[in-house]
Amino acid sequence: MKRSWWKILCIVLLIYALLGGLLMGVPRKAILNETIRNIYFHVPMWFGMMALCGCSVYHSIRFLRNPDLLSDIKAASYASTGMLYGILGIVTGAIWANYTWGKPWSNDIKQIGAAIALLIYAAYFVLRNSITDIDKRARVGAVYNIFAFVMLLPALWIIPRMMESLHPGGMGNPGADPRDMDTRMRMIFWPAAVPGFILLGIWISTIIIRFRKIEDKNLLHV
């Protein structure tokens, strides 16, 4: 029970985010209308991706300091879940854009930045799978993972804010300021949706790690 408290918290937060996101009131904004509720699901995907990729690069650094196959397994597992969150972010964003902008892909700078971020991490997995030697794969993967995370920051958060965008948050305007969300939405978004989806991503990653530990049991000597 002591080890599962965060899983229970994750479930509670996600239930609150789901019910609150679908049932509680939202501000009436032109064009967005009821689609503004997607902010509870679309935006947390990107926060989740950053958090999971941060966990991944942490384990990559640990591997480089003290080579251990388990650290490499954790790095790859967190990165794969982060990649999943990025794909979900793209998909939910495309659906939202189709209703509000008239088409799912408008070559908006934030869409392009998100696509670049996914391609960078896709290259991480291609690189890993192209190397058969386990130790070399772990070392090269760890170094590239650090590079990928460093590139993730400008692709998702810095460059899009420096340019005109259809998204909220263009030209330095924070995407979650009072002009975009009222108090009711912030009470769901920040305390429930964002941490809830981050915890879910960590939960999924731990399950992947368990499976990979079983697959590599002989190499891990456990």
pLDDT tens digits, one per residue of 109-159: 999 999 999 999 999 999 999 999 999 999 999 999 999 999 999 999 888
2-34 tens-digit pLDDT: 689 999 999 999 999 999 999 999 988 888 889
Identify whether the C-beta of residue 76 lies closer than 8 Å to the C-beta of residue 22.
no
Q: Confidence band (pLDDT; 50, 70, 90) for 162? A: confident
Whole-angstrom distance, CA of residue 18 vs CA of residue 211:
29
CA distances to 2, 79, 87, 139, 146 from 58, rounded to whole Å, are 25, 11, 22, 14, 9
Tell me what pLDDT residue 73 has. Answer: 96
pTM for the structure as a whole: 0.94
Mean pLDDT comparison of 85-89, 106-110, 217-221, highest-scoring range:
85-89
- Looking at residue 74, its pLDDT comes to 97
Q: Helix/strand/coil (H, E, C) string of the chain?
A: CHHHHHHHHHHHHHHHHHHHHHHCCCCCCCCCHHHHHHHHHHHHHHHHHHHHHHHHHHHHHHHHHCCCHHHHHHHHHHHHHHHHHHHHHHHHHHHHHHHHCCCCCCCCHHHHHHHHHHHHHHHHHHHHHHCCCHHHHHHHHHHHHHHHHHHHHHHHHHHHHHCCCCCCCHHHCCCCCCCCCCHHHHHHHHHHHHHHHHHHHHHHHHHHHHHHHHHCHHHHCC
pLDDT above 90: residue 170: no
178 pLDDT more than 90: no
Sign of the dihedral through C-alpha 95, 98, 100, 101: positive
Is the pLDDT at 221 greater than 60, yes or no?
no
**Token output for 32:** 């967005």
Nearest alpha carbon to residue 113 among 27, 49, 67: 49
Q: What pLDDT shows up at residue 164?
A: 82
Q: What is the pLDDT of residues 57-93, one digit of tens each?
A: 999 999 999 999 999 999 999 999 999 999 999 999 9
d(CA 195, CA 83) in angstroms, rounded, equals 18
